[in-house]
C-alpha cells in the first residue's frame, strides 16, 4: 500500500481527521512520510493511530459484500479487450456535443496544494512588496496561521488541489456543480450567461460563471473575501480584488487538466498562471461527508518553529 493510499483510506473512512493530519506532508514513500511527520511535530503521531484504525475499517468495508456506497460500480466505463477500464478512451459528451466533466476526480499529487506556483520561476509570480513580506512570514511561521488549519474553507483555486480528497463534478447545460469531500464544500458555476457582479457579500469560494472555448470550460470567479490563501506551504496571499480564471480540459475518459490564472492587482504586479494541474477519475466510489472540526483536539497545540 502506497503512502497516497494510506492517506486516501484515512480520508475516506474516518468521520474526521485531526487538522495536523490534513496538513501533513505526503510526498515520498510511507517510511519517509512517517519520518518527516515524527520530525515535524509529535502531534502528527496521532495521525498514524487513526490511519491504523482506518486501514482496519478499509479491509472490512471493501470485503466482498455486494455493492456499497464506496464500492458502487461506475456506469459507462469504456473497456479494453481484456475487460479492464480504458482510462485513455474517448471523452464522454453531452447531448449538445460538449465534453462532460461529470464524475469523481482527485488530484494526482499534492504539488499545487503546497505551492500553486510549482514549476514557475520566482519572476513569474511578481508580488507586491507587502505581499512578499507576508508570504515569507507565513513560511517562517510554518503556515500555522492558515485558515484551513482551523477548518475554514480553502478558497479558490486551492480547493481543487488537495490530493488527499476527491471532489465530484455534476454538469448540466446551464450549471456545473462541484462538491468537495474535504470540509463538505460546494461551488455553483453558472453557464446561463449571467455576469459576475458585486451585489453579493464576499465569500470564501467567491462566485463563478463559465463559458466554453472549444472543448475547454473557462471558469471566472470573483467576489472573494480577503482571508484565503492560494496554497499551503508557500502561503501565497490574495485580497478581495482576486479574480481567478480556471481552464478545465478533459483530454480522455480518465483524466482532467486544469490551469489557474491569478489576477489580483493588490497582491501581484501582473497576472500569473499555474502550470498544468492533473487529475484522475476515481472509479466505483462516491464522495463522503468530512467534518473537519468534529472531535478536533490539535488546534490548541499548533506551534511555530
Residue 228 has phi, psi (to 5 degrees) of: -85, 155
23 with 142, same domain: the answer is no
Rounded Cα distance between 234 and 193, Å, is 36
Rounded Cα distance between 101 and 219, Å, is 13
29 with 153, same domain: the answer is no
126 with 270, same domain: the answer is yes
191 with 42, same domain: the answer is no
pLDDT at 291: 84
pLDDT at 53: 44
Q: Which of 46, 67, 88 is the last residue of a domain?
A: 67
38 with 140, same domain: the answer is no
Q: How many domains does the chain have?
A: 2
57 with 191, same domain: the answer is no
pLDDT at 198: 72
119 with 262, same domain: the answer is yes
48 with 191, same domain: the answer is no
Inside any domain, residue 92: no
Q: What is the dihedral of CA 258, 259, 264, 265, to 10 degrees?
A: -170
Inside any domain, residue 121: yes
Domain span including residue 42: 3-67
Please give the full DSSP string across 217-256, using - where no structure is assigned.
Answer: EEEEEE-B-S--BS-SSS--B--TT-EEEEEEEEEETTEE
Inside any domain, residue 167: yes
Q: Which of 67, 88, 122 is the last residue of a domain?
A: 67
Identify the DSSP state of 274: P
**SS3 (DSSP) at 165:** coil
Inside any domain, residue 248: yes
pLDDT at 285: 93
Q: What is the pTM of this model?
A: 0.81
Q: Which of 67, 91, 112 is the last residue of a domain?
A: 67
Helix axes 45-61, 3-13, angle to 10 degrees: 80
Record the cell numbers describing residue 114, joined without a space. 503546497
Q: What is the pLDDT along the chain (305 residues), one digit of tens a residue?
A: 433 344 444 445 443 344 444 444 444 444 454 444 444 443 344 344 444 444 444 444 444 444 457 788 999 999 999 999 999 999 999 999 999 999 999 999 999 999 999 999 999 999 999 999 999 999 999 988 999 988 999 999 999 999 999 999 999 999 999 999 999 999 999 999 998 877 889 999 999 999 999 999 999 999 999 999 999 999 999 999 999 999 999 999 999 999 999 999 999 999 999 999 999 999 999 999 988 876 666 667 766 65
CA 147 vs CA 32, 42, 226: distances in Å: 27, 21, 11
53 with 120, same domain: the answer is no
Inside any domain, residue 294: no
51 with 170, same domain: the answer is no
pLDDT at 83: 94
Inside any domain, residue 83: no
Amino acid at each position: 500500500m502506497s503512502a497516497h493510499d494510506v492517506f486516501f483510506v484515512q480520508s475516506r473512512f474516518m468521520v474526521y481527521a485531526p487538522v495536523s493530519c490534513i496538513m501533513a506532508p505526503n510526498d515520498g514513500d510511507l517510511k519517509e512520510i512517517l519520518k518527516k511527520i515524527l520530525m515535524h511535530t509529535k502531534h502528527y503521531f496521532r495521525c498514524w493511530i487513526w490511519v491504523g484504525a482506518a486501514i482496519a475499517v478499509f479491509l472490512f468495508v471493501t470485503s466482498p459484500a455486494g455493492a456499497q456506497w464506496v464500492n458502487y460500480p461506475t456506469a459507462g466505463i469504456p473497456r479494453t479487450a481484456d475487460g479492464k477500464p480504458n482510462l485513455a478512451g474517448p471523452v464522454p459528451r453531452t447531448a449538445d456535443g460538449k465534453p462532460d466533466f461529470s464524475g469523481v476526480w482527485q488530484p494526482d499529487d499534492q504539488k499545487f496544494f503546497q505551492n500553486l506556483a510549482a514549476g514557475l520561476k520566482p519572476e513569474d509570480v511578481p508580488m507586491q512588496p507587502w505581499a512578499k513580506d507576508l508570504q515569507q512570514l507565513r513560511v517562517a511561521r510554518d503556515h500555522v496561521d492558515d485558515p484551513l488549519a482551523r477548518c475554514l474553507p480553502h478558497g479558490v483555486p486551492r480547493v481543487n488541489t488537495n490530493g488527499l480528497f476527491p471532489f465530484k463534478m455534476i454538469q448540466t447545460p446551464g450549471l456545473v456543480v462541484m462538491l468537495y469531500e474535504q470540509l463538505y464544500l460546494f461551488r455553483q458555476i453558472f453557464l446561463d450567461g449571467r455576469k459576475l457582479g458585486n451585489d453579493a457579500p464576499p465569500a470564501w469560494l467567491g462566485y463563478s460563471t463559465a463559458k466554453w472555448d472549444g472543448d475547454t470550460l473557462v471558469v471566472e470567479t470573483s467576489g472573494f473575501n480577503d482571508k484565503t490563501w492560494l496554497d499551503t506551504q508557500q502561503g501565497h496571499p490574495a485580497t478581495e480584488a482576486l479574480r481567478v480564471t480556471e481552464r478545465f480540459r478533459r483530454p480522455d475518459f480518465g483524466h482532467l487538466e486544469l490551469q489557474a490564472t491569478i489576477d489580483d492587482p493588490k497582491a501581484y504586479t501582473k497576472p500569473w498562471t499555474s502550470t498544468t494541474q492533473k487529475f484522475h477519475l476515481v472509479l466505483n466510489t462516491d464522495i463522503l461527508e468530512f467534518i473537519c472540526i468534529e472531535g478536533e483536539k490539535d488546534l490548541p497545540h499548533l506551534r511555530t518553529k
